[in-house]
Amino acid sequence: MGMSQDNLRGFILALLSSVFIGASFIIKKKGLRRAAAVSGVRAGYGGYAYLLEPLWWLGMVTMIVGEVANFVAYAFAPAILVTPLGALSIIVSAILAHFMLKEKLHQLGVLGCIMCISGSVIIVIHAPQESPITSVQEIWAMATQPAFLLYLGSVIVLVVLLILHFAPRCGHTNVLVFTGICSLMGSLSVMSVKALGTALKLTFEGKNQLVYLETWFFMFIVATCVIIQMNYLNKALDTFNTAVVSPIYYVMFTSLTIIASVIMFKDWDGQNTGSIISELCGFIAVLCGTILLNSAKDSDRGSSFRGEHAPLSPTLSTGLFSGNRETLKHDEENELLPDDICLRKQEPY
């Protein structure tokens, strides 16, 4: 199945984006560790010393470059094609974490990486051709249809619930809390990025979309969602193993984005059943790959910040996946904390 020129441009930009974003996870985490060692307060516990750390800003610049490439990719290709290519960022971050952060990648993890790539390739091959959009007002009509408004309302309720109820109680022991907030807001930001990118693309083609209020509204939504995403992504990266955060964030973010895109842009309209099934199989392969990747990782367990004697360097284990734990040098490692109890009650396995 051939790709259109726009889909090809989106595909290349999405690949470049994944490389930059995958590297940014590692650079930012090294910056977070360095800032925590200097200030004594980790980002996961409300510290903002990382804002003064040059290495963290380098990671931010790298991520911004990747996000810009991603932004442009959405202007050319449908979300169902662009979003799953984020699997490459998992592989980049896992490999770099293995060498730079000593977060080991085992043979099972390598198999998981291969499955992620294979699944993404299947999705790309069977990705739908996007229907042409001639005005941002067309996208606004899609965003205000009842089905998408129902999805939007559900996301807002879940995010508020996670932030106000679950984050204070289990946010530092259950990786799904912080990554869940990032992923839910991410699905909305992608829809807004798609709308804004299309509006700018049309403007550069001579059809000025900046005169429409809808364009500026989408820009506001993008800014709001990205700020929330970055805040909770910092918390997740500082609290949990990078090789665990990256795959889980990818799986949740991609799943929700595809659901949102299918509802809002009706990506599957006009596709035959075989293509849709192939896309779903490819996505399932990616999900299985991330599970294998997670199961092969070291789930390094750090201490909750309990007073002035708490260590800074170890990261917190999610407790959701099996793995070889590194030996901690503190007697606290064998104690069952209240947060641990909260996590184990929520464990699905």
CA distance 95 to 49: 27
Per-residue pLDDT, 240: 87
Between 185 and 132, where is the model more confident?
185
Per-residue pLDDT, 150: 97
Top-ranked range on mean pLDDT: pick from 142-151, 286-295, 315-324:
142-151
Per-residue pLDDT, 330: 35
pLDDT confidence tier of residue 334, bands split at 50, 70 and 90: very low
List, in sequence order, every residue forming a beta bridge with 240; answer none if it has no partner.
Answer: 316
DSSP-derived letter for residue 91 is H
Per-residue pLDDT, 106: 75
CA distance 334 to 204: 60
Whether the per-residue pLDDT at 178 is higher than 90: the answer is: yes
Per-residue pLDDT, 179: 93
Per-residue pLDDT, 187: 94
86 and 26 Cβ atoms separated by less than 8 Å: no
Per-residue pLDDT, 251: 78
Take residue 330 and report the two structure tokens written for it.
């503190």
Q: List the domain boundaries for the chain.
A: 1-128+273-300, 129-266
What is the helix, strand, coil percentage profile of the chain, to 5? 75, 0, 25
Per-residue pLDDT, 299: 43
pLDDT confidence tier of residue 296, bands split at 50, 70 and 90: low
Per-residue pLDDT, 202: 93
Whether the per-residue pLDDT at 341 is higher than 50: the answer is: no
SS3 assignment, position 21:
helix
- Average pLDDT over every residue of 248-270: 85
Per-residue pLDDT, 221: 95
CA distance 24 to 68: 13
Whether the per-residue pLDDT at 348 is higher than 60: the answer is: no
pTM of the shown model: 0.68
- Average pLDDT over every residue of 191-206: 92
185-216 as b/e: b if 16+ CB within 10 A: bbbbbbbbbbbbbbbbbbeeeeeebeeeebbe
User: pLDDT (tens digit, 9 = 90+) per residue, 16-63?
Assistant: 998 998 899 889 888 888 888 887 777 667 677 878 888 889 999 998
Top-ranked range on mean pLDDT: pick from 133-142, 245-254, 276-285, 322-331:
133-142
Between 231 and 2, where is the model more confident?
231
CA distance 201 to 327: 53
**Percentage of residues of the chain with pLDDT beyond 90:** 30
* Nearest by Cα to 343 from 305, 281, 284, 301: 301
